[in-house]
Copies of this chain bind each other. A is one copy, B any other.
Amino acid sequence: MARQTISHEDGAIYEFTPDLEPIETVESGAELTFDTRDSLDGAVQSEDDVIESVPEEVNAATGPVAVEGAEPGDVLRVEIEDVRVTEEHGRVVTIDGFGLLDEYDEIEAPRTRITPVEDGAITFDDLEVPIEPVVGTIGVAPAEESYTTLIPHDHGGNLDTTDVTGGNTIYFPVFQEGAMLAMGDSKAAMADGEMCGTGSEIATDVDVTVEVIDDPDLELERPLLETDDAWKTVASADTLEEACELANLDAIELLAAEHGFDETDAYTFSSLTGGLEISQVVDPLVTVRNAVPKEYLSNPF
């Protein structure tokens, strides 16, 4: 079956709500390409285009796509085969009132830097940074609350996590019938932390295969990432300390289930290998991962 394109021109959301209406319905196992526009909706095309304050609508997420058979309690598996940038430049910006160092006088906001794409890299003055794309916002319809696409939470959303890239797989809890997958807000490159509030924001095509996992062995509460080497729990909260606690609790649950440990042994074991990683420190909620090497965890579903 040919890979089906889901275009932002057919639909994109700025809020993950419990009652999303799909722009497309696909079967479990479908191969899709999400065509995403940049997080600033094309408003920044030169260094004269600056963003005075965080726009009310930002991080447009192409979709949502309903996946047939996805029911609350299931897990949606999203294998990301490839992410390709589809513009000739990205942009990295400061915005007043946003970013890790927003309150420091020496940081000027707003400012825009255009980062042209050349030979698999973006350039910043005479520096080249290899393109390692990140899908910043990806998620499903939440259980009860609504979250704008600026906010990460248990449904995913604005996770801004460098591991959300080609070759990795992300799993979401299904809270609503059809799951309602949407994604956008890609970056050509981004540091862990996304300190200034953006990476190199850019339009992309994202190839994914979506699959419903019925009756999973694990009751998933929050997103879970699978990389080549590790399983990584992903948690968002008001503070980094709280996000660390949630990510570690989720890792402990996985380790306990796999090895028959009680929580305390799973906790002490978690303190020996892998560990906590920062996703982003700038969104209204911040995001942390807890990596557990695959030597110590098999597929939990």
Residues of A at the B interface (CB closer than 8 Å) are 92-94, 99-101, 104, 106-109, 111, 113, 115, 122, 124-125, 127, 129, 162, 189-200, 239-241, 244-245, 248-249, 252, 259, 261-265, 267-278, 281, 286, 288, 290, 296
Pairwise interchain contact A244-B193, C-beta atoms closer than 8 A: yes
* B contact residues around A94 at 8 Å (CB): 264, 267-268
* B contact residues around A104 at 8 Å (CB): 245, 249, 263
Residue among B92, B100, B245, B290 making CB contact with A244, cutoff 8 Å: B100
Pairwise interchain contact B244-A278, C-beta atoms closer than 8 A: yes
Known: A189-B273, A278-B244. A101 touches B196 (CB 8 A): no
* B contact residues around A125 at 8 Å (CB): 259, 261, 265
- Determine the residue in chain B with the shortest Cβ distance to A270: B195
Residue among B122, B240, B263 making CB contact with A272, cutoff 8 Å: B122
Pairwise interchain contact B189-A267, C-beta atoms closer than 8 A: no
- Determine the residue in chain B with the shortest Cβ distance to A106: B263
Pairwise interchain contact A281-B241, C-beta atoms closer than 8 A: yes
* B contact residues around A248 at 8 Å (CB): 100-101, 193, 195
- Determine the residue in chain B with the shortest Cβ distance to A112: B268
Known: A106-B263, A244-B240. A196 touches B278 (CB 8 A): no
Bound state CA distance, A261 and B193, in angstroms?
A: 20
- Nearest chain B CB to A175's CB is how many angstroms away? 25
Pairwise interchain contact B273-A276, C-beta atoms closer than 8 A: no
13 residue pairs bridging A and B, Cβ less than 8 Å apart: A94-B264, A94-B268, A101-B249, A107-B263, A115-B272, A124-B268, A127-B296, A129-B273, A190-B272, A192-B274, A196-B268, A240-B241, A275-B278
* B contact residues around A252 at 8 Å (CB): 101
Known: A100-B244, A111-B264, A193-B244. A276 touches B270 (CB 8 A): no
Pairwise interchain contact A271-B241, C-beta atoms closer than 8 A: no
Pairwise interchain contact B272-A281, C-beta atoms closer than 8 A: no
Pairwise interchain contact B100-A195, C-beta atoms closer than 8 A: no
- Determine the residue in chain B with the shortest Cβ distance to A292: B191
Pairwise interchain contact A277-B278, C-beta atoms closer than 8 A: yes
Pairwise interchain contact A111-B268, C-beta atoms closer than 8 A: yes
Pairwise interchain contact B240-A196, C-beta atoms closer than 8 A: no
* B contact residues around A196 at 8 Å (CB): 267-268, 270-271
* B contact residues around A261 at 8 Å (CB): 125
Pairwise interchain contact B113-A268, C-beta atoms closer than 8 A: yes
- Nearest chain B CB to A204's CB is how many angstroms away? 16
